[in-house]
Chain A
Amino acid sequence: MAFNFNWSPLIADTSRARDMLTTALNKGPKPPIIVDDITVTELNLGSTPPELEILEIGDLAEDRFRGIFKMTYTGDAFLTLKTKVQANPLNTYLSTKPDFASPEPLAASAGLTIPLQITLSDIRLSGFVILVFSKQKGVTLVFRNDPLESLKVSSTFDSIPFIKNYLQKVIEEQLRVLFMEDLPAIIHRLSLRLWSPEFQEMDTETEERLDGSKSTIAPIDPLSSPPQDAVDEFGNPIDASQMATLALDSASEIHASFSQKNMLRLAALSQSQRTLSLFTPGIREAVFRAWASNPDRPDSGSATPALTQSSLSRIQSNFASVKSNASSIASGSTGQDTMSSRPTLSSTYSSAAGLSLGANRARGHQMRKRKKRVVDLRKNRDGAESSGLSTEGNTPLHSTTVSETASSVILEEREREEEPLTSPPRSPAKPNVRFDPKHGRLDISDPSRLRETEKTLSASTDTLLAPAPLLSNPPKPKAKNLANAPVHHLVNAVQHEKPRSSSSRPPLSHSRLRSTQQSSSPLLRSLSFDKVSAITQNQFQNQKNHGGLGSPPYAESTTSSSGGILEQAWMMKMAQDIARKVAEEKGRSRSRSPREGAEKRTQGLWDSGVEELDAPPAYVA
């Protein structure tokens, strides 16, 4: 798997990014020492691209992508800012004080503004980047940690060491904020402008609202309107004829640079695995797990228990009525539980439409959950594996039936939500159950949507089953021995998880495990396989993130349910953002379309709005 990041078109057009940086820097109150607008006069991304190491790939589809990268940058990019500063300390001091108790100096506070030029160069970055791409939502890029390692600040006052040091300190601080908070927003907006014309309209509106001076340049596509004052990598302006070729080139390049092609290729590959096509170039050392079925349809739900697990995964594709690309690995449970059925990608569209009615939190949880389905491309580390969770198979699972009425589900979930949400799930079985009550509750928060509840329920089961397994031992391709695969996984998983459960206890013997596994229901097989591995993976992730901090395992287990603090914050932020946008869009469509068309239209909008929310396929490697 390779991604072709083309750096050169990014260098060529920095005018828009410069404008956006300028707006971002001038938004919000400035310290009184800065008396003029901050203008970004030069922005050069340099000729050296950052190095990206793919750590994980989550959601992967034609129009979606999510992954975690490790980025290191030691390039020659530089940035020049211009502003004016107030040199009189008394002036800045008085400007923040109330008039009533001001000493009211006559002329001692007279201002002296000094133009200041700051150049930031030798930027060294290193950090973990989470990149989420969706055609609807644009590109979202966040840093999991503080990426700034070092940079060189040179300014007009370099001859005065005190000011130099002060500037260095302050700018580093500010840049950290910029990387963690502002840059994701800038990139998001930039990508919205590039990809989605309908957001562009909204975007310009908000921009007009934000700053009185409206920018007339709001290109839909880089093809249609080339950059206004483009410069090449040496800073020389590019003339129009050059620009035409460049623009055409860069248009194709830009898409390539976001690996559209590669995503298509990957999607094709993954689809071919789902069919009976003989041409299945299997991805080595990978297990495709989240082939969701379409059980939220009532017919499929009723049909599910009757079928055996092995047959189901194939037949289920027939039930996947909405979209063919959604397949399932639903393990039909004959006995006590029917939670085994798993919704497809497409079916969760509709269920997610119900979801989005609920609070933002629902979305947040959903996304948090979703995060766990990842393709892990990292090398296996034996030490990390041992931190898996155990006793999955032995813990009685709380389950609900699909055929149950919605009210009973609500009741059940109500009582479950009594548990404090914040309490860390220490027993490994709990995360399974803990999450779906939240979802279920939030999903059906709109009582008028009773019809949705069934879908919602399946959605919750979906989220229950959602997390991606991270298995240390790559099992054989599923196409070969599907029936054996879960067993095999379980054994693997249990083996890995066990040492963590009680470090003092000796590991269980293989045979005993097998017996346990055999006695457990098929549901358990599938569930535990997913869950355990997901938790294991989370453990793994957390351990990796925490590095050598030596945080105790239970602390990790608390975070495993919700991810890191930063991630949480980001997720909540994104969720709120999306909710707001959807609400705006909804309001607009409502006001626009007549009554009968409204429902249909909203449905469509919702579909598009929640496309990112639904359960993505995940793989294990």
Chain B
Amino acid sequence: MLDFMEHVQHAFYEASHWNLDNSYGTLNATARALLDFQTPRGLRLQISSLAAPNFATSYTLGNLGVVDGSVSYLYSSLPLQRRLKSSELDLHNAIRGYRQLQELRRPDENWWWEIWHSGKRVDRRDTLLYGRIFLPQSRLEALYLRRLTPTRQLRINAVSDSNLNNGGTILTLLQNDFGKYSTEYMYSTDSALIGLRALYNFGADPRVAPTEPTTAQQVAERMHGRFSAGAELYYGLLNKSGGISTGLRFTTLPAHTGFPYTMTLTMNPLMGNLSSTYAVKAGSNLALCSRFDFNFYSYESELQLGCELWRRRRNTDVEWAVKKLHPDWRQPAAAPDNDVSGILKARVDQHWRIGVLWEGRIKELLFTLGASLDLKKREQIFRAVGIELQYSS
């Protein structure tokens, strides 16, 4: 489940029309959500609040051996309208699962953002500031996010911790999203790492084509899927080492009539790593994913399987009656996903390492219950067990 503050940041992206999915870094976001989810450890409580549309606070308290916690504040110059109360938020927004990509959106024109008042431009760039301090480690995380132009965003992440080399690290990320393609440039103070990422979407250019089909022919020719290719390159100036990878993705768009699915293939030519994922949303409540890794230098291979299952409460007593009365009738729910009793995520790999996550909402509390198991180690099957509780108002 998304942390409250991440959720708020997503809300900011949404409000500022930034497409998170159109980046090489999120090329295999679906597979990672289904296979690489984190299982909680120990007990963790989070109380958060979007006190004002521009201001959010969050407090966490954890108990893993020692009691620790964190305090975080977030300021957004853009008023956030998304419902973030734990009692009424949309679980689909809060839970990382199968990511259904949407049609590419035409980027805003620069002049759309201009606001003039009595002959002077008064508009300001949307900015998000976020800070979080972990106690008692005294570790400080800070984030500065600024939408420079409709196609550009600056993101600065900083961590200050006395345990780190040089006392901390700063990552600067400049992202450009032109719809058709996107580029990212980054610099990290840690060993002076510079990075470059790019993603190119094949098919129609959203900047020239109208975003909405108007004629009947255009409706018929609607894109059912999107093919993307990307690459990334890193080089550490100080340690003189680098990394490179390329990737392909094909994913269905909402216009696709069958099961939505996503396929990715990433390759690291330097290290000889080849990874392919296939994720399918087999129904509104079920998503399945598999990943196969192969290294053609060391001949090591790895297989992982994962699934996501939404369990819904059924009023079996009345459902048959309702069906009989009106087969197409749907009960208007008070809150979205109010009938969801929980979401089960599970993964297993070839070494019989299993991760299980049970997420959901009880009354006004969001809970995450997780465990990671290792069936190969008989004497210590449970590697980690944990529960997370979130409340936000």
Contact = CB atoms under 8 A, between A and B. Distances in A.
Interface in A76-113: 87-90, 93, 97-98, 100-113
A212 interface: yes
A130 B159 CA distance: 48
Contact of B275 (A93, A97, A110): A110
Contact of B245 (A89, A98, A107): A107
A87 B273 CA distance: 12
Contact of A107 (B239, B267, B298, B379): B267
Contacts of A212: 379-380
Interface string B158-173: 1101001000011101
Main secondary structure of the interface of A (DSSP, over half): loop
B4 to A, nearest CB: 15
Given A97-B169, A98-B164, A103-B188, A88 B298 contact: no
A114 interface: yes
B271 A111 contact: yes
Interface stretch (B23-31, B58-66, B214-222, B336-344): B23-31
A426 B332 CA distance: 93
A506 B302 CA distance: 85
Given A98-B161, A112-B295, A212-B379, A106 B25 contact: yes
Contacts of B247: 106-107
Main secondary structure of the interface of B (DSSP, over half): strand
Contacts of B158: 101
Contact of B268 (A93, A98, A108): A108
**Most B CB atoms within 10 A — which of A105, A106, A113?**
A106
Contact of A108 (B143, B243, B298, B300): B243
Given A103-B188, A105-B195, A110 B268 contact: yes
Contacts of A113: 298, 300
A100 B141 contact: yes
**Most B CB atoms within 10 A — which of A88, A90, A107?**
A107
Contacts of A105: 25, 195, 232, 234, 243, 245
Given A110-B273, A112-B273, A104 B25 contact: yes
Contacts of B159: 98, 100-101
Contacts of A100: 141, 143, 157, 159
Given A90-B243, A97-B169, A107 B266 contact: yes
B39 to A, nearest CB: 15
Nearest to A112: B271
Interface in B284-315: 293, 295, 297-298, 300
A567 to B, nearest CB: 33
Interface string B235-273: 010010111110100000000000000000011101111
B149 interface: no
Contact of B171 (A88, A102, A106): A102
B205 interface: no
A307 B31 CA distance: 94
B133 interface: no
* Among all A-B residue pairs, the 6 with the closest Cβ atoms: A108-B243, A89-B241, A107-B245, A110-B273, A90-B243, A107-B266
16 contacts: A87-B271, A89-B243, A97-B164, A97-B190, A100-B159, A101-B169, A101-B170, A102-B171, A105-B195, A105-B234, A106-B27, A108-B243, A108-B245, A111-B273, A114-B298, A212-B379
Given A93-B239, A106-B247, A112-B273, 16 more contacts: A88-B270, A90-B243, A93-B236, A98-B169, A103-B186, A103-B188, A103-B234, A106-B27, A107-B268, A108-B233, A108-B244, A108-B245, A110-B268, A112-B272, A112-B297, A212-B379
